[in-house]
Amino acid sequence: MSVSAFIRITRPHNAVVAGLTALIGYLIATGTLTPPSLLLAVVVALITAGGNVINDVFDVEIDRINRPDRPIPAGAISLAGARVYAAALFVGGIVIATLTTPLCLAIALVNSSVLIAYAVRLKRTPVLGNVAVAYLTGSVFLFGGAFAGIEGLVRNLSLAAITFLATVARELLKDAEDVDGDAAGGARTLPMIAGVRKTGIFAFACACGAVLVSLLPFGDWWGLFYLAGIAVVDLVILFGAFRGLRCTTPGCVRESNATSILRAGMFAALAVFAIAAVI
């Protein structure tokens, strides 16, 4: 079992970005960063890493077909070793969360539970899996803001709502891409029940909702830089969701690159939020 496999299975890019997002949430709540606030990034990175590892533990049979290169199906990490590793990551994140605030610790405990529930069951349940990932992604802002108290959490509510809606849209389109693989793995997703076309329509509606909510911080919060920056991001998000709107097959959704365009728009939004919070 190599060190690189133990790093790779955590999807470090994912965990690091999530950790940085928690700092953005604290930045939005307070306008500054302090040495203790850096703990937020460590907690989120560890718990996200734990979520990614436990996800691979429960997905091992699907990944043997779809992603044989991943550490467990490739034999680089044993299933038992991965279970212990995931537990250590979750425990580490929660123990460090005890050094933050009771509200942050509560969110860390809830999110660890949701990540495990997602891996065990929610992922294979229509819409609930999408909502779980969207909640987890949006909650990162709430977690960062919560380090500054309930007021800090409230200040991040609109960003959490924007992120939730955009992530639902992207997760639905990811499911529309993966209908065949998910069916083979025994999952039940919205595209399987309602079809790719209706899923695309619902995803586009969620993206439109995210765009509308993204205008809320303008005015009483952030000024013209934010409006100009988020307007560009909104166009990218709408374009990405529109690309998936006309599709009726999983192949069409894959060829549309809708989920990649949405991912790019989501990360661009992160940059706009971070800059708007400090200028």
Ligand X SMILES: CC(C)=CCC/C(C)=C/CC/C(C)=C/CC/C(C)=C/COP(=O)(O)OP(=O)(O)O
Ligand Y SMILES: CC(C)=CCC/C(C)=C/CC/C(C)=C/CC/C(C)=C/COC[C@H](O)COP(=O)(O)O
Residues at the contact surface with Mg ion, assessed by CB under 5 A: 55, 59
Stretch of residues binding ligand Y (CB under 6 A), selected from 68-76, 195-203, 247-255, 261-269? 261-269
Quick one: what does residue 162 bind among Mg ion, ligand X, ligand Y, none, with the CB cut-off 5 to 8 Å set by partner type?
ligand Y
Contact between 266 and ligand Y (CB under 6 A)? yes
Distances (CA, A) of 217 to 155, 159, 162: 10, 8, 11
Q: x-or-dash pattern for ligand X, window 96-125, by CB under 6 A?
A: -----------xx--x------x----x--
**Residues 53 and 71: beta-carbon distance below 8 Å:** no
Distances (CA, A) of 275 to 138, 147, 152, 270: 18, 20, 18, 9
Min dist CB 59 to Mg ion, Å, is: 4
Min dist CB 185 to ligand Y, Å, is: 17
Quick one: what does residue 214 bind among ligand X, ligand Y, Mg ion, none, with the CB cut-off 5 to 8 Å set by partner type?
ligand Y
Pick the closer one to Mg ion by CB: 59 or 234: 59
Cα 106 versus chain centre, distance:
19
Min dist CB 182 to ligand X, Å, is: 8
Q: Name residue 222's beta-bridge partners.
A: 218
Task: Report which residue type is found at 269.
Answer: A
Q: Which of 175, 177, 182, 234 binds ligand Y (CB under 6 A)?
A: 234
Q: Where are the alpha helices (DSSP H) in 59-178?
A: 60-66, 79-97, 102-120, 128-146, 150-155, 157-177
Non-local CB neighbours of 21 within 8 Å, separated by 6+ positions: 44, 140, 141, 144, 270
Rounded distance, CA 209 to CA 221, Å? Answer: 20
Q: Which of 162, 241, 253, 258 binds ligand Y (CB under 6 A)?
A: 162
Q: x-or-dash pattern for ligand X, window 1-40, by CB under 6 A?
A: -------------x---x----------------------
Contact between 21 and ligand Y (CB under 6 A)? yes
Both ends of the chain: CA-CA distance in Å? Answer: 46
Task: Give contact residues for ligand X (rule: CB under 6 A).
Answer: 14, 18, 43-44, 47-48, 51-52, 55, 59, 107-108, 111, 118, 123, 133, 136-137, 139-140, 143
